[in-house]
Amino acid sequence: MQQLVSLVQETGLYPSRHSPSEAERTLAVWLQCRREEARADNLAQAYRDGLAGLPGWQTPPRPQADESRWQQRLAALVDYRAAGNDWPRHKATVEGLEHDMGVWLHYQRAELHRGELDEAKVQALDRALPGWQSGRRRGRKPRQNG
């Protein structure tokens, strides 16, 4: 535990299971075991106390983290559209926020067409972003008079 605490305090990073360092991979596996024990409410108090000083050491289970990230991306896209932006593009020539949201939206459409997008997510997208399935209209934008 002390090795883990020292590593995180020195580098600001948690160990990776993909590190070239065997010592770091060992710490990553050890931490994953402690996270699982904590989720099962079976973590020894000494570990709980020792790890408490590390910010974010207890990551949520992957499905919960994925759902939270999905909801955050939906909210970001709602804000993006509310700011007057057109549907984001995902092509390689597009960069930054528009590209990131465009890739996410493209993935949602692809999952829908494959029949793999959860119905609750389809409904959330329909409520929050009417027209999300079709996106941009082809051709030139209509001229605005004024």
pLDDT tens, position by position, 92-140: 788 899 999 999 999 999 999 999 999 999 999 999 999 999 888 776 6
Q: Which residues contact 58 (CB under 8 A, 6 or more apart)?
A: 35, 38, 39, 51
d(CA 61, CA 13): 19
Domain residue spans in the chain?
2-51, 62-128
Encoded tokens for 59: 């990551």
Q: For the stretch 47-68, what's the b/e string if a residue is b when 16 or more beta carbons lie within 10 angstroms of its beta carbon?
A: eeebbeebeebeeeeeeeeeee
Encoded tokens for 35: 């996270």
pTM score of the predicted model: 0.62
